A and B are shown apart, each in its own frame.
Chain A
């Protein structure tokens, strides 16, 4: 069974702080996606990483795919209240489905 473990499960920080969310697995993935999900809505794609060691930046968000393509991290610099939400990682093995992690619920307080 392929599993993606996300940590931490919950994160509550003050505006301006930095944070890192982790996504780990014992399985190799062909690609890994990070999504953000608001309550009652569908996941919104933030980024896809494909190559081991790949780093992608999206404004204050930095995404990294592990060298072995088993893990990934999301780092947010100078978090803002607008970053509050549920962050999901999802790994692909093959072309037919995504395996989702349980998510990290982030709260950024002014």
Chain B
């Protein structure tokens, strides 16, 4: 069964460092998303991406964040200068018809120390 895959599963980084979280969405999907979940809290929307551009972003997604689809299969989230409060699970998701039927990856646990 097709699935969204994310790497790495766990990333530890020092405050101020750049991190890149990687995702391979389901191959025939057209819409791509990043969400995050701080421990014990709700899943929060960060950004959506369609047709090689950002469709919508939340207020969390400030200038320190960027997304890219560098080739036909990968979708990345970059955090330029990490802060302690960026520590969370980051989930990539993809969909073939807008938001309906959004499938999530297993997540990357980011720990900023």
Most buried by B among A90, A92, A98, A99: A98
Q: How many residues from B make CB contacts under 8 Å with A?
A: 27
Across the interface, which residues of A come within 8 angstroms of B100, CB to CB?
Answer: 31, 33, 48, 50, 92
Q: Mark A84-110, 1 if CB is under 8 A from B, else 0.
A: 000010101011111111110000000
Q: Is B43 a contact partner of A48 (Cβ separation < 8 A)?
A: no
Let me know if A42 is at the binding interface, CB within 8 A: yes
Q: Is B42 a contact partner of A101 (Cβ separation < 8 A)?
A: yes
* Residue of B89, B99, B105 touching A98 (CB-CB under 8 A): B99
CB distance from B23 to the nearest CB of A (A): 11
Let me know if A81 is at the binding interface, CB within 8 A: no
Task: Show 27 A/B contacts (Cβ-Cβ < 8 Å), sorted by A.
Answer: A30-B99, A31-B100, A35-B104, A40-B89, A42-B104, A42-B107, A43-B43, A43-B91, A43-B104, A44-B104, A45-B104, A90-B43, A92-B100, A94-B99, A95-B31, A95-B55, A96-B31, A96-B55, A96-B98, A96-B99, A97-B48, A97-B58, A98-B35, A98-B45, A100-B35, A102-B41, A103-B42
